[in-house]
Structure 1
């Protein structure tokens, strides 16, 4: 019987690679980088045989011609290598990936499969900073967080729970780490609804998302200019409350939010928090340990890193909750 031995949540941003020299909040940036390194050490200590990376795809491998809610890479996995992230074929475990996808479907989570999946920094940023030179095979699990209609947050929780059950049923004794890549709060300079672009830049991006397969180079320069020119929009109070709920083992409560409600409190980029919910659900929502929170306007994102260790969950769940906290969902806790 295989088992999940660790969960990690980590923000990503290619601007971390390309715009470090423009960072103003240096201490925050260094704290985030150091937290990634601390999380990488935790992954190494967990001695994984395979890492499931739950991440997004920024219209680099999946396009508007076909965007499944959930996609598992079951064969070749090729990283695009944009903005200094890893490039080329990645080490994989096709046998495990195929068994995982089959079991998820049997459990009622109909995932799509890809025998040749192209990933971007939504997955490869985690490979770069959390796996480094560990040489561990990866299984990408791509969640649609950008092309509405999005899978509900409740459906993402169910995916995580079914993921945990599937891992336990897979033959062998693999040690599995689940990594969530994305978030925290941020607003991206693209349409919240691809069918309703509001200006020329948004219309250009929708055109790229629709027609970019096989000819992305002709869109990439202007796309990058649009991203870099964006005005930062971060919601630190929401981010801190989210990490507080992670520490208390309370992330399940976010499953009741709608897509519009999440966008209102965390921005359209905050839809990536679906990946954290998948990971946390796969770990049984055990209380976790936030390693850092760094609001980085230079990178357009509230950057966070957290670790969920099931061997520590029972001890942490016994700790009392603070008497008062910001509640991003409204109402009493």
Structure 2
């Protein structure tokens, strides 16, 4: 049967994608960011996942303020690269795993989670930047992807507890899929950052590092953290970290931390990254 073998979290700062596409990864400013992902690139070569359930948020590419589902799953065989206003990133289209996605959708909806099924959508930097960081420059992606889009744009976003519970439901769905698949689940977004208003440029390294630590040592604290604490401590866009809790919830009670990285700044945001193994 299919099994979740690892959980990975990473920021998806759009400027990282610009630096990657323009071959600026060795520039003094960007080199520390990309070096922080050297470990996971080797890890992925060794692990050879078949499918990634990739949790991210759309940035007005597939959805906009006229319609934003709280949770949506992409069930297509392939996902085009979105044009976010400056043309498509020069990347191959992202291959989907429609059978696993449909199975997850059915299982999770019957598990009483209202999940929007999307059969055609383009994916933006929220999904493609983590792929570039983990796999580098490729002619075609070495894995298939099941995108899970989460609303962290329009209030109210889902609670951390609801995200955690969705992760548990996704794990049950994966484990009941009959095909023998090595599946990873990724949570993307964050860490602390604010893009507008008087606090634009806010970065809270203390909050970020406590969040990374407690993904392992005290996930219950994160599961129950209120929206207002994310907003106050990590900025208006720091709420994206609830998506990491979908990843963490899918791994079960106990995890082993394999790798951790944190760097400030990347553009006007903090970059966080962690790799976990369910035990």
TM-score, structure 2 as length reference: 0.88
- Determine which structure has the larger helix proportion and give its number: 1
**2: distance between equivalents of 1:127 and 1:86?**
13
Q: CA RMSD in A?
A: 2.4
Matched, 1:7 2:14: no
The offset of 1:88, in angstroms, is 6.0
**1: distance between equivalents of 2:71 and 2:168?**
14
Aligned to 2:207: 238
C-alpha contact 1:11 1:183 (8 A) present in aligned 2: yes
Aligned to 2:46: 45
Q: Structure 2 residue aligned with 1:104, among 108, 111, 114?
A: 108
**2: distance between equivalents of 1:179 and 1:240?**
18
Aligned to 1:283: 251
**1: distance between equivalents of 2:193 and 2:121?**
26
Post-superposition Cα deviations, 1:106-156, rounded to whole Å, max 9, x if no partner, equal: 112111011002211011111222134352111110111111111111110
The offset of 1:308, in angstroms, is 0.5
Aligned length: 268
**2: distance between equivalents of 1:38 and 1:96?**
28
Aligned to 1:208: none
Aligned to 1:177: 184
**2: distance between equivalents of 1:146 and 1:156?**
15
Post-superposition Cα deviations, 1:150-169, rounded to whole Å, max 9, x if no partner, equal: 11111100000111111001
**2: distance between equivalents of 1:144 and 1:78?**
20
Task: Tell me the secondary structure at the aligned position of residue 112 of structure 2.
Answer: coil
The offset of 1:6, in angstroms, is 1.0
C-alpha contact 1:32 1:292 (8 A) present in aligned 2: no
Aligned to 1:80: 82
Q: Structure 2 residue aligned with 1:258, among 226, 243, 246?
A: 226
**1: distance between equivalents of 2:18 and 2:63?**
24
Structure 1 alignment gaps of length 5 or more: 191-197, 199-229, 314-333
C-alpha contact 2:17 2:132 (8 A) present in aligned 1: no
The offset of 1:290, in angstroms, is 4.3
Aligned to 2:147: 140
Task: Tell me the secondary structure at the aligned position of residue 183 of structure 1.
Answer: coil
Cα distance 1:7–1:271, how it changes in 2: closer, same or farther (>3 A)?
same
Post-superposition Cα deviations, 1:79-116, rounded to whole Å, max 9, x if no partner, equal: 21556745463211111111111111111211101100
**2: distance between equivalents of 1:18 and 1:140?**
22
C-alpha contact 1:10 1:36 (8 A) present in aligned 2: no
**1: distance between equivalents of 2:80 and 2:220?**
33
Aligned to 1:126: 130
Structure 2 alignment gaps of length 5 or more: none
Superposed counterparts of 1:152-167, under 5 Å: 152-167=159-174
**2: distance between equivalents of 1:61 and 1:88?**
18
The offset of 1:231, in angstroms, is 4.0
**1: distance between equivalents of 2:227 and 2:196?**
18
Cα distance 1:264–1:289, how it changes in 2: closer, same or farther (>3 A)?
farther
Aligned to 2:64: 63
